[in-house]
Amino acid sequence: MHSNNNLLLLAFFGAATALRRTCAVDNVQNDGTGTYIITDFDTLPVIAADFCTEVPELEKLNSAPQIEAGDSFTVPCRVRKRDCLRIPNSKVGYYTVVEGDTLAYIASDFCVAASRLPTMNPGVITDNSVSPGMIIEVPCSWN
């Protein structure tokens, strides 16, 4: 019932597509990092959330803790396939499950443990599995 209420709120208040920041994988280092170009709207906490890391980790990867639009910035970098519809003024949103999705794949793209998704979706995820077409709540704090 919890998710059904959230879906009603989503329909009433609307949602915003939270487009993920992307990075260019550094194939030379092959250490799981890549380059992200800073925009006018970026802050370290927002960048960290989008790349599934913490601000201190970003500071370790980059010599200058200050960021300016146009700067190249080293970030943990991997391909993610999933985006969410974020509820305005919230750190959560919704994702529609597609063929081939598992809790582990979804969790990885949304920077959360797979065990947390059923907790976020009581009555929706009941047997620790998902099916195409299910709409589930996921962390969606970026943008």
pLDDT at residue 131, rounded to an integer: 94
- pTM greater than the 0.75 cutoff: no
Q: Which domains does the chain have, with CATH numbers?
A: 2-19+81-139 (3.10.350.10), 24-76 (3.10.350.10)
DSSP state of 113: -
* Location of structure tokens 């190249």: 72
pLDDT at residue 66, rounded to an integer: 80
Helix (H) or strand (E) holding 6: helix 2-13
**Token pair for 114:** 């797979």
Low-confidence ranges of the chain (pLDDT < 50): 1-4, 7-16, 18
pLDDT at residue 32, rounded to an integer: 81
